């Protein structure tokens, strides 16, 4: 009996850790981590303004391509004459810094997925 119990417990642990691994892969964990550490000082997840605009609804204000370009170098987007970027700058008075953490394409994808998830959760 003891042996079967041991096998049963091991099987449970295996199933549970497989579940956790799958969740970590598909989730927005990395994007959330980036947000908390590098964006939350200036952006709230609601529609409330902080140093920068609140993120709620941001994915419907811009295309994904625009956000991807913005994150790589906000100042360059403003200087390129982009009307949306210029309007934002006039409203918020400061220019968002170019952040090393999103220099990497994968990190940008993670944070954009996190923003999508935030919009979805808040639309309910
Ligand atoms: C030092 C403050 C600051 C930090 C840190 C910051 N931002 Fe910003 N962000 C701004 C400001 C200010 C604006 C408005 C445009 C401007 O004036 O540059 C902005 C605009 C944006 C916009 C467009 C928002 C809209 O509603 O149109 C996005 C998207 C964005 N930031 C994403 C991010 C992400 C993602 C991070 C973290 C990786 C981040 N920002 C970190 C200040 C910041």
CATH number, domain with residue 117: 1.10.760.10
> For residue 20, is it within any domain?
no
> For residue 12, is it within any domain?
no
Q: Residue 120 Cα, ligand 1 centroid: separation in angstroms?
A: 20
Tokens of 6: 């041991």
Q: Residue 10 Cα, ligand 1 centroid: separation in angstroms?
A: 47
pTM of the shown model = 0.84
Q: How many domains does the chain have?
A: 1
Give the residue among 69, 51, 56 at the shortest CA–CA distance from 118.
56
Give the count of beta carbons closer than 10 Å to the beta carbon of residue 14: 10
**Token pair 């006039």: residue:** 90
> For residue 7, is it within any domain?
no
| Pocket test residue of 28, 30, 31, 42 for ligand 1, highest count of atoms within 8 A of CB | 42
The whole domain housing 48 covers 28-123
> d(Cα 51, Cα 98) in Å, to the nearest integer?
15
Give the residue whose CA is nearest to atom 40 of ligand 1: 39
Look at residue 17 in the predicted model and tell me its pLDDT. 63
Q: How confident is the model at residue 15 (pLDDT cuts 50, 70, 90)?
A: low
> For residue 40, is it within any domain?
yes
> d(Cα 41, Cα 110) in Å, to the nearest integer?
18
> For residue 117, is it within any domain?
yes
If one compares 124 and 111, the residue with the highest pLDDT of the two is: 111
pLDDT in tens, 32-80: 999 999 999 999 999 999 999 999 999 999 999 999 999 999 999 999 9
Task: State the chain's mean pLDDT as an integer.
Answer: 89
The set of protein residues with a Cβ atom below 6 angstroms from ligand 1 is 34, 38-39, 41-43, 51-53, 58, 61-62, 67, 70-71, 74, 88-89, 92, 94-97, 99, 101-102, 111
Give the count of beta carbons closer than 10 Å to the beta carbon of residue 124: 4
């Amino acid at each position: 009996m003891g042996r079967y119990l041991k096998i049963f417990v091991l099987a449970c642990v295996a199933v549970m850790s497989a579940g956790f691994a799958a969740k970590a892969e598909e989730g927005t964990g990395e994007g959330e981590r980036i947000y908390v550490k590098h964006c939350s000082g200036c952006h709230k997840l609601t529609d409330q303004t902080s140093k920068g605009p609140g993120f709620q609804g941001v994915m419907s204000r811009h295309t994904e391509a625009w956000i991807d370009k913005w994150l790589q170098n906000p100042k360059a987007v403003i200087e390129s004459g982009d009307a949306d970027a210029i309007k934002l700058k006039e409203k918020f008075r400061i220019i968002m810094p170019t952040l090393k953490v999103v220099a990497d394409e994968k990190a940008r994808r993670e944070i954009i997925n996190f923003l999508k998830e935030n919009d979805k959760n808040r639309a309910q």
